[in-house]
Amino acid sequence: MTQKKIAVAIDGSKHSDKVIDTAIEYAKLLTAKVILVHCHKKFPTILGEPQRNEAIVSTLRKAETTIAPYTKRLHEADIDYEERLMEEPAGSVIPDVARIEKCDLIIVGSRGRTNLEGLLLGSVTNRVLHTTSCSVLVVK
């Protein structure tokens, strides 16, 4: 029997705290592995060297800082997990990661870091719900 996998999308918002709590609960219930997905801003394309490399390093450091509390909680809960630091757009990337990793479930927050962005560009959660082939649990 193959191990169940849960893709868990976090962005550092207060909703992500609830998402990780739910992910830990479900991972324990299902004896599942968590694929922790964080989508950072896109890397710059118009900067020259060494500014481009410095911007990339800075972006990755911020992403690692953002996910650190969540990886700590997964580790403390003794949950098997892997991290995926991905470039935006999150609404496209999260379903792709879930498909590639053959996840059984995606857990996302009902809102992310910026509510205004969701109103103007379309909700990441809404995009995930409509483009993925696996079940999605939306945490409020």
The fourth-level CATH superfamily of domain 5-139 is HUPs (3.40.50.620)
Average per-residue pLDDT for the chain: 90
Name the token pair of 118: 């969701």
d(CA 59, CA 124): 20
In this prediction, residue 47 carries a pLDDT of: 74
At 128 the pLDDT is: 93
3-state SS assignment for residue 32: coil
What is the structure's pLDDT at 110? Answer: 85
Low-confidence ranges of the chain (pLDDT < 50): 115-122
Which pTM does this prediction carry? 0.88
Q: What is the pLDDT of residue 113?
A: 53
d(CA 38, CA 66): 8
Residue with tokens 């990780």: 20
